[in-house]
Amino acid sequence: MASSKTLAIVLGAGPGTGAALAQAFAKTHGAVALLARNHSSLESVVSDVRSAGGDAAPFRCDVSSADSVADAFAQIKQKWPQHQVTAALFNANSPLQLKPFLEASVEDLKPGIDVNLHGAFHFSQKVIPLLLQAGGGFLGFSGATASIKGSAKFGTFASTKAALRSLSQSLAREFGPQGVHVSHVIIDGVIDTDRVRQNYGEAEEGTRIDPSAIADTFVYLSQQPKGCWTHELDIRPAAEKW
State which residue, 39 or 65, has the beta carbon closest to a second copy.
Answer: 65
Q: Of the two residues 48 and 234, which places its CB atom closer to a second copy in the complex?
A: 234
The CA distances from residue 102 to 64, 105, 126, 155, in Å, are 26, 8, 37, 10
Minimum CB separation from a second copy for residue 75, in Å? 20
58 or 211, CB closer to a second copy?
211
Burial 31-52 (b: 16+ CB within 10 A, else e): bbbbbbbeeebbeebbebbeee
Residue closer to a second copy, measured from CB, 31 or 127: 127
| Coil, strand or helix at 164 | helix
- Residues whose CB is less than 8 angstroms from the CB of residue 37 and which lie 6 or more positions away in sequence, other chains included: 60, 61, 62, 63
Q: From the CB of 47, what's the least distance to a second copy, in Å?
A: 26
Write down the least CB distance from residue 61 to a second copy, Å: 15
**In 3D, which of 171, 77, 175 has the Cα closest to residue 135?**
175
For the CB of residue 50, give the shortest distance to a second copy in the complex, in Å. 26
Q: Hey, what's the torsion of the CAs at 82, 85, 91, 94, to 10 degrees?
A: 70
In this complex, which beta carbon is closest to a second copy, that of residue 33 or of residue 171?
A: 171
Q: Are 194 and 140 in contact (CB under 8 A)?
A: no
Shortest spacing between CB 130 and a second copy, in angstroms: 12
- State in angstroms the smallest separation of the CB of 2 from a second copy: 19
**Separation of alpha carbons 100 and 89, rounded Å:** 32
Choose between 60 and 110: whose C-beta lies nearer to a second copy.
110
